[in-house]
Chain A
Amino acid sequence: MMWTRLLALIVKELLVVLRDPRSRTILIGPPVIQLVLFSFAATLEVKNVDLVVMNRDEGPSGIELIRRIEGSPSFRSVVPVHDPRALQRAIDEEKALGAIDIGPSFSVDLAAGRPAKIQVLLDGRRSNASQIVNGYLGVIVNTYMADENEHYRRTASIPRVTPRNWFNPNLTFTWFTVPGLIAIVALLVGLLVTALSVARERELGTFDQLMVAPLRTHEVLLGKMIPPMLIGLGHITIYILATVLVFQVPLRGSVLLLYGSGVFFLAAVVGIGLFISSLCATQQQAILGAFLFVAPATLLSGFATPIENMPDWLQPITMVNPLRHFLVVTRGVFLKAMPFSEVVKNTLPLLAIAIVTLTAAAWLFRRRTE
């Protein structure tokens, strides 16, 4: 008996969402735009860098070093300048991210075995890109100096650093972003569908009808919970397919584990959505409420910047963010073939969050009906 009632409610909810052209728009438009924009634009890779170089050295070494820098695929242009003011202007006006200043006695010092001075000047307004460019230049200059030393047969004792990148050999940024987007889209869709469905009934006055219908509170709640979860799973599936087929990200772990964890994540998200919507009277407020949750949840999840970079007092607070836990699972399953035990360890917090938010939402619902 309960199952027929529940099924009817679920079918009705799905029809409401899928029939309304507006809800259809949010289910299709934003997720597609996000997939395209985030996967291509959200990159912390540093490529096509513009540099200026001030070569005050007259010997062959300065020219050879510049040739090597120009040969690196990371740099788009290496423009020569002749005085410090032009160098400063290039950085000030953001025409170059950095500058290399080769001292006047570079070749002579290098040949004589004295320390040869090179200075790298970087734009601190973009400090992250600057640090990475500094790393690139460090490798080029150190390799060059080691080669020169070998050439002059002085010493072979400069250690060479051999880099090796596990899980993502070319440090391809989409391998990092796109699996994360699976979690983000599930969050957005789950939250908006839930929050809007309750707010919509409130606005139209049909919520009271639902409350007086022969349905128990938990049945109404389940009826409101299951459709957004189904829609969320649909989006997860489409995104997984795009990740594998379009972005060619290796799927090294088990897709079943990903779905298993995804169900708990969606339950937690829907719980939050129900909680928000039980506080809102209109769809407008529900949208703003959802935005007020999504913005901090995304920023404090490790999606764009690692949690370990946050201050120590903030890191424990991120534990209540369901996105944080599910991101570890999506990235782990895709790139690191995350084992069952680790997936469970990251799914348990999702279960706890779901229990807390759903209980709170049920309590708020009941309170409003009385």
Chain B
Amino acid sequence: MQLFKNEKGNKDYTIIVGCGRLGANLANTISDEGRNVLIIDKNKDAFRKLSPSFGGISIIGDATDFDILQEAQIDNASVVVSVTDNDNINIMVALIARDLFQIKCVISRLQDPERECVYREFGIDTICPAVLSAKEINRILAEMSTSEAVSSEVDQ
């Protein structure tokens, strides 16, 4: 049985590992866009974060377990996103998806930017909230200082 039917034959099937705030948010967005999405989490209570209109599938289980990944039909997935709160689990899921199931597009969330070298070595795309936040704050600060400079120039 196939979990999702592909009308056009092209694969559009995203697996999200970890139903935290980020995972649930992403799953809701993809589902709202009318695309196929499956979300895995160890804890069944985590799925409460999904919106009532969520139209994807949820699986309770350990995503580092091959049986659970088979159940999620990872072979058919076009994208695997690992966003659990544990960096090491994210690394392992990403490596399993990439090297055992040949998933081309694998994205991981990374809390500790120091571990990035492991990902870089394996060519896995990472999102690091700490780095992103720092960049954004810096950008806002830079904007503020330029606008201050401009306004002080205007005052003169």
Do the two chains bind?
no
